[in-house]
Homo-oligomer: A and B are copies of this chain.
Amino acid sequence: MAENHTVKAFDEDISKLRGLIAEMGGLAEVAIADAVDALSRRDEAKAQLVVAADAKLDALEAEVDQLAIRIIALRAPMADDLRDVIAALKISGVVERIGDYAKNIAKRVKELNSKGSIEPLTLIPAMADIAQGMVRDVLNAYAARDSQLAMEVIARDEKLDNFYNSLFRNLVSHMMENPATISTAAHLLFVARNLERIGDHATNVAEMVYYAATGSYFTDRTVQVRIEDDE
């Protein structure tokens, strides 16, 4: 009876932890969409809202940290349960960083404003859609412990990388042909890079979800090498 009580309390704690991470994921997704929308329309007011909203993600990460530490201290979870709590700690850190990338995109809106149009900017929203979809689906995979969906997210990262490489070349060509927009294009290079990094982080979470669901590491070498890349 006492043991059942402890098990129930632990399950409630871990559900709360997962609920906080789901909330973080939702905010990160909205931040990506809003940052890129603000960029496309050069809407500085909206960009500022994205920057301000990031504080909520930071606060939620701190809440996950504190709850995880409390769970470990009070429930002394063993083996798989402990790994579940540590995974939650790590995943919340990654989602917080995804929010930071969105914030960084939003911060560049004021650098782009009133500096003339630039054609490669029209490709950014499509790239952002892929990144945002990866974040949404990897958090669904985490919530449902769905290894199949996690694998699909991992597979999509190659598409995002190709998009990034093509956009990089596109922006460099644009710079050569339009020296007046070099500064704007340089900021867009970082925006594209941030979106590519969001995909890498989603892939990273997908690998943790895959491992937690199946007990084995996702073995495709290409993917492994890629996600060890810079953060």
Contact of A194 with B93 at beta-carbon distance under 8 Å, contacts A72-B72, A172-B182, A175-B175 already known? no
Candidate in A54, A182, A183 with the most chain B CB atoms within 10 angstroms: A182
Interface flag for A211 (CB, 8 Å): no
Within 8 A of B (CB), among A175-221: 175-176, 179, 182-183, 186, 189-190, 193-194
Interface flag for A8 (CB, 8 Å): no
Fill in one digit per residue for A53-75: 1 if any B CB lies within 8 Å of its CB, else 0.
01100100000010011001100
Interface flag for A83 (CB, 8 Å): yes
Contacting residues, chain B, for A231 (C-beta < 8 A): 97, 100-101, 231
Q: How far is the CA of A65 from the CA of B211 in the complex (A)?
A: 15
Interface flag for A82 (CB, 8 Å): yes
Q: Which residue of B lies closest to A90 (CB)?
A: B93
- Of B54, B78, B82, B230, the residue contacting A228 (CB under 8 A) is B54
Q: How far is the CA of A89 from the CA of B68 in the complex (A)?
A: 13
Interface flag for A155 (CB, 8 Å): no
Q: Across the interface, do A183 and B172 meet the contact criterion of CB distance under 8 Å?
A: yes
Interface flag for A168 (CB, 8 Å): yes
Q: How far is the CA of A21 from the CA of B221 in the complex (A)?
A: 27
Q: Across the interface, do B175 and A179 meet the contact criterion of CB distance under 8 Å?
A: yes
Q: How far is the CA of A100 from the CA of B190 in the complex (A)?
A: 17
Q: Across the interface, do A69 and B86 meet the contact criterion of CB distance under 8 Å?
A: yes
Interface flag for A18 (CB, 8 Å): no
Q: Across the interface, do A230 and B104 meet the contact criterion of CB distance under 8 Å?
A: yes
- Of B82, B100, B168, B186, the residue contacting A69 (CB under 8 A) is B82
Q: Across the interface, do A100 and B172 meet the contact criterion of CB distance under 8 Å?
A: no
Q: List 25 A-B contacts (CB under 8 A).
A: A54-B228, A55-B228, A69-B86, A72-B72, A73-B79, A86-B89, A97-B230, A100-B229, A100-B230, A101-B230, A101-B231, A104-B230, A168-B186, A172-B182, A175-B175, A175-B179, A175-B182, A175-B186, A176-B182, A179-B179, A189-B189, A189-B190, A190-B193, A194-B230, A231-B231
